[in-house]
Amino acid sequence: MNLRHWLLLGILMPAMLRAQEPAPFKIYTADGKKTSWKKLVKKAAKADVVFFGEEHNNAVAHWLELRLAQDLYKAKDGKLILGAEMFERDNQEAVTRYVKGEIDEKTLDSLARLWPNFKRDYKPLLDFAREHGLPFIATNIPRRYASMVYKKGFESLDSLSAKEKEWIAPLPIAYDPELSQYKKMVEMMGGHGHGGENLPKAQAVKDATMAYFIARHLRPGYTFLHFNGSYHSAFDQGILWYLRRYKPDVKIVTVQTVSQEDISRLEDEHKGTADFIILVDDRFPKSY
């Protein structure tokens, strides 16, 4: 995604949203009916938690993540909390120091494990929090612990120190192998006989940890806007399954980005993935 494309997004997108005819994307409800950005924001503002499930290299999705943060900030009179999968729990101090203006980007990069596309795709979200004094919560499990689960199962987490356990969801990790999204992961790995049974467990420990730290940072009257890969919040599963265990009465709205070559109608396979499905023209340039 080069500078020309980002400038084009910045110029065209506001007009597209006002016109409710977003050219490189259209918005649908879970059952495939067309809806508007205005209705998405209105419903999101009434939720305790909003999950924005992204395609990591989708430039339109990243632009809309920032736009949703901006519009919710206005709708909620500043009562907004941001959080993301892309930042891990043991990096929370560095993230907080950056958002408070205590360190610069170079120092943040030296203290935290930033994704390769951080500067292009996620720094604008941190900068928005920094500009408006908003909390930004690093929700994800440190990747080395998810790797342990992938290699040796949940039991491997028992060996962690008390300090390390502060960075993950409380043990033991609840797990339902019959959830369709986890079953798909096993199938992708060629079944249980090929070691695939630990892949969804590694995903589950990420989901559980993100849910736990979202739950810990909820505030009455605030909306928590969380950014994550689409698989983590699709079909009312993943993080949502765990969050409802921690907070049974939580009000949730889900947003999902999906790419199709033809955005005039939502294909059946994508129906039901979220409350609002943003269908992006697959021919639009990717951010990487």
- How many CA within 13 A on the CB side of residue 69? 28
For the chain, the 3-state helix, strand and coil shares in percent, each to the nearest 5, are: 50, 15, 35
- DSSP assignment of 64-122 equals HHHHHHHHHHHHTTT-EEEEEEEEEGGGHHHHHHHHTTSS-HHHHHHHS---TTIIIII
- Looking at residue 149, what is its pLDDT? 97
Confidence of residue 197 (pLDDT cuts 50, 70, 90): confident
| pLDDT at 189 (0 to 100) | 74
Residue type, position 61, single letter:
A
Distance CA 42, CA 47 (A): 9
- Report the alpha-carbon distance of residue 140 to residue 206 in Å, rounded: 6
Whole-angstrom distance, CA of residue 105 vs CA of residue 124:
12
Domain extents in the chain: 3-281
Give pLDDT, residue 196. 77
pLDDT digits (tens, 9 = 90+) for 38-54: 999 999 999 999 999 99
CB 278 within 8 A of CB 37: no
Quick one: average pLDDT of 237-265? 96
Give the separation between CA 288 and CA 274, rounded to whole angstroms: 25
- Residues of the chain with pLDDT > 90, as a percent, come to 82
| Arch. (CATH architecture) of 3-281 | 3-Layer(aba) Sandwich (3.40)
pTM of the shown model: 0.91
22: pLDDT strictly greater than 90: no
Mean pLDDT of 72-96: 98
Q: Going by C-beta distance under 8 Å and a sequence separation of 6 or more, which residues neighbour residue 192?
A: 186
Rounded-to-integer distance, Cα 198 and Cα 97, Å = 35
